[in-house]
Amino acid sequence: MITDQSSETATPESNDANLTDSMNALHDWFMEFIQTRQSVFIPCLVVLGIALVLHVVVGWILRRYASRMNREGFQWTGVIASSLSAPAGWVIWIMALTMVARMLIIPDPDNTETTILADRIAQVRLGLIIALLAWFLSRTIRRFEEKFSTVAKHSDRLDLTAVHAISNFLVVFTWLMAILIAAQSYGMNMTAILTLGGASAFALSFAFQDVFKNLFGGVMILFSRPFRVGEDINMVGKSIEGTVEKIGIYQTIVRGWDKIPIIIPNSIFLTDGIRNLSQATQRRIKFDIGLRYQDFNVVESVASDIHTMLKDHSKIDENGLLRVVFSNYGGSSLDITIMCMSQPGATLGDAAALKQDIMVKIGEIVTKHGADFAFPTQTLDLTGPIEVKTLT
């Protein structure tokens, strides 16, 4: 069967005709648009001109003001002014362009499309202004973070990790609030969103409770500041001791004395005690020595001379804890316990050197009295005679 496909296949002549019709329709629409809006062209140009002038003038004023405040020492005011310069320029142009767009749209009660379009322009303008406000606040927070970070590097009053953590939290909170406000302005049901968010938060907190414990522990460390980066700590009941290298939101890194990093989840700090060795005002030195049982007659004299030596030592706090006592009958020794405190301000290295000096002087005192240090020995009591046999 033969069919005629001339009606189904487009010819070049028909394509040219369709293109010509489209161009004519576009030309007619454009001419009608120009003719019906001739009265607003000049006001639109005036609005754009004013926006251009305001953009240049406001930006120049804010930059000059920020520079002047920084020179005169009012750095915080200068931070706000410098953060405002870019968002202020965008706000000016958004207001101008949306105003021009609304002027070009002729509301027609019989045409709902133009009315809806005008309303949508107003909503877009509000959303952009909210976003620019959040951008301004975020820029301000980051500028303040830079200032506080500089202060924290040269001062013990601020912790650099806490500055970064608080800054990140404020930036996230700012954008989250901006999104919620924008959603409400677009007519979304905030009650449903908050209810869903609350249920999701409960489910997440139950599923990731260990993660949230670590996060909460990190926040508590940053605010209570039981220790700082660079300080020496050890944990009560655990073999964790070293220098704090990094305090994170989730975990803390402690560099052990063997230079091996120890990764500690922050939740541990909520339940276990911490000794901050770097914040100690003094260093306690405590150890025991053991004399032989045959040196019993000189134990009291040795203890008295050790006490006198410690009391006269220039690096020992004579008003602090100072004890030298015969404390125990050991398995193979007469035990003497020595406890004393270093002078205020001594470091761990100073305490180690002081302990070495004390132990050397104690050895000299023991030798002076003709005594000696005990070592583990055992005495065998034999009831019968000893028979010695020679093996041949």
Whether residue 315 is contained in a domain is answered as yes
Domain match, 122 and 235 both: no
Whether 204 is in a domain gets the answer: no
Residue 305 lies in a domain: yes
pLDDT tens for residues 263-287? 888 888 888 888 888 888 888 999 9
Domain harbouring 269, CATH code: 2.30.30.60
Instruction: Read off the pLDDT of each residue in 42-57 and give the average, rounded to a whole number.
Output: 85
Same domain, 223 and 361: no
Q: What's the pLDDT at 59?
A: 83
Do residues 244 and 330 share a domain?
Answer: no
Q: Are 333 and 374 in contact (CB under 8 A)?
A: yes
Question: Are 219 and 172 contained in the same domain?
Answer: no
Percentage of residues of the chain with pLDDT beyond 70: 76
Task: Report pLDDT digits (tens) over 201-236.
Answer: 666 666 556 666 777 777 777 777 788 888 889 888
**What's the CA angle centered on 290, arms 286 and 293, to 5 degrees?**
155
Q: Is the pLDDT of residue 2 over 50?
A: no
Range from 72-76, 155-159, 311-315 that averages highest in pLDDT: 311-315
Nearest to 367, CA basis, from 285, 291, 286: 291
pLDDT at 36: 59
Total structural domains within the chain: 3
Min mean pLDDT across 3-7, 164-168, 319-323, 357-361 is at: 3-7
Banded model confidence at residue 6, pLDDT cuts 50, 70, 90: very low
Residue 27 CA, chain-centre distance (Å), reads: 61
Question: Does one domain contain both 32 and 181?
Answer: yes
pTM above 0.85, yes or no: no
- What are the strands, taking DSSP E only, across 218-300? 232-235, 241-247, 251-256, 261-265, 274-276, 284-291
3-class DSSP state for residue 102? helix
Query: Does 35 share its domain with 178?
Result: yes
Q: Of 142, 158, 188, which marks where a domain is finished?
A: 188
Residue 364 lies in a domain: yes
Q: Is 344 a domain residue?
A: yes
Residue that terminates a domain, selected from 252, 279, 306: 279
Residues 269 and 321 in one domain: no
pLDDT digits (tens, 9 = 90+) for 137-190: 998 888 888 877 777 666 655 666 667 777 888 888 888 888 888 887 777 766
Same domain, 112 and 183: yes
Tell the residue number behind the tokens 């290295």, with chain if given. Answer: 349
* Same-domain status, 61 and 178: yes
User: What CATH number did the domain enclosing 347 receive?
Assistant: 3.30.70.100
Give dist(CA 329, CA 326) in Å, integer: 9
Residue type for position 223: F
Taking Cα atoms as reference points, which of 362, 257, 245 lies closest to residue 303?
A: 362
- Mean pLDDT score of the chain, rounded to an integer? 80
Give me the pLDDT at residue 224, please: 75
Domain membership of residue 13 (yes or no) is no
pLDDT of 202:
65
The per-residue pLDDT for 144 is: 83
In this structure, the answer to whether residues 128 and 182 fall within a common structural domain is: yes
pLDDT band at residue 38 under the 50/70/90 scheme: low
Give 293 or 150, the one with higher predicted confidence. 293
Residues 139 and 228 in one domain: no
Element of type H or E holding 37? none
Are 175 and 89 within one domain? yes
Q: Please give the average per-residue pLDDT across 78-88, as a whole number.
A: 81
pLDDT on residue 208: 59
Q: How confident is the model at residue 347 (pLDDT cuts 50, 70, 90)?
A: confident
Q: How confident is the model over 241-265, as pLDDT tens digits?
A: 899 988 877 788 899 888 899 988 8
Instruction: Judge whether 115 lies within some domain.
Output: yes
Q: Which domain holds residue 359?
A: 284-368
Task: Render 230-241 in DSSP notation, one character per residue.
Answer: T-EEEETTSS-E
Residue 103 pLDDT grade (very low, low, confident, very high; cuts 50, 70, 90): confident
